[in-house]
Amino acid sequence: MKKQLLPVCFIISALVLFLLHIQPASADMLYFGTSNSPPRVQKVNRDGTGLETLIDFGSSPPALRDIVVDGISGKMYFGASDGLLRRANLDGTGLEVLLNNTPVGDPFALDLTSGTVYFTGSNLVRINLDSSGRENLFNPPLNTFVLGIALDLATSKIYFALNGLEDRIMRANIDGSDVETLLSFGQTSADIFDIKLDVMGGKMYWTDRLGIRRANLDGTDLETVFDNVDARRLALDLPNGKIYWGSTNFMSDQGIFRANIDGNMPELVLSHDGDVHGLDFGPSAPAATPVPEPSAALLFIVGVLGRLCLRRRRFVT
């Protein structure tokens, strides 16, 4: 018994040290697509510095629609007007086509745990990333289309916007069942472009041609964050209490802007020609990065474990 106890204690201590010593790469970069000629996939620091072009589509470009970053696997996904869903490494290498003949809607959403992607457009469509299992989850009324989508995987809900005869924000189960209307705006022609969720805060945010709005996840307590701004793409920086968006006309400029999550202190982050298509945060490096030096708290925890193991060994002896 005592011959086995000491090695086990040291193994446990070493495992705790390893797990606590490795920290995931922080989502400190903003990835976005542009409609410049040619369209590009670019990234920039959250303060607007360090602009870098990752992918340049050359002389025969598709029009980029949306970008989703998977920081865990170090991949980014983007849709385009040519009906192709593409994927690349976060440094722009390894560009590949995952799906052909996808709906040409603007935003899309990924559920990487189940390997599925949700597309907007003339209807709401779900497709497996291996191109199998295509399903129409929701068919909107005549002269109405789906634009804007967000997933709440913890509650298996999907949020999406309808634009057309009557603009609405809808919610349904992840399989498209139990559809409900959360907000109805009438014939405003606002065109809801993008939806983002703050699940922990119980809020949803969205952009339209008239401004940036938010409400509770059940549609109550509607608020205007910014008015009279033609916002298209939206990204939430919740750890730092910031909201980012792309606009072609705000503060006498166009590009990427940010403000406090309550709408105060707006500022231009990056002046940029052309529309911004897709905004998402991700790490600058695709993999977890080790901390150079263990912290004092980390060493204290391992020390306590070691002393407990030694005391246990004397008791067993």
Identify the CA nearest to 161 among candidates 195, 209, 190, 137.
195
CATH (domain of 212): 2.120.10.30
Residue ranges in the chain whose pLDDT is less than 70: 1-27, 36-37, 59-61, 104-105, 187-190, 251-252, 285-317
pLDDT digits (tens, 9 = 90+) for 261-297: 999 999 999 988 777 888 999 998 654 444 444 444 4
216 is in which domain, residue-wise? Answer: 25-287
The domain total for the chain is 1
In a domain, 295, yes or no: no
pTM for the structure as a whole: 0.80
In a domain, 305, yes or no: no
In a domain, 275, yes or no: yes
Task: Provide the pLDDT for residue 189.
Answer: 63
pLDDT digits (tens, 9 = 90+) for 31-69: 998 876 678 899 999 999 999 999 988 766 677 889 999
In a domain, 13, yes or no: no
In a domain, 12, yes or no: no
In a domain, 68, yes or no: yes
In a domain, 315, yes or no: no
In a domain, 18, yes or no: no
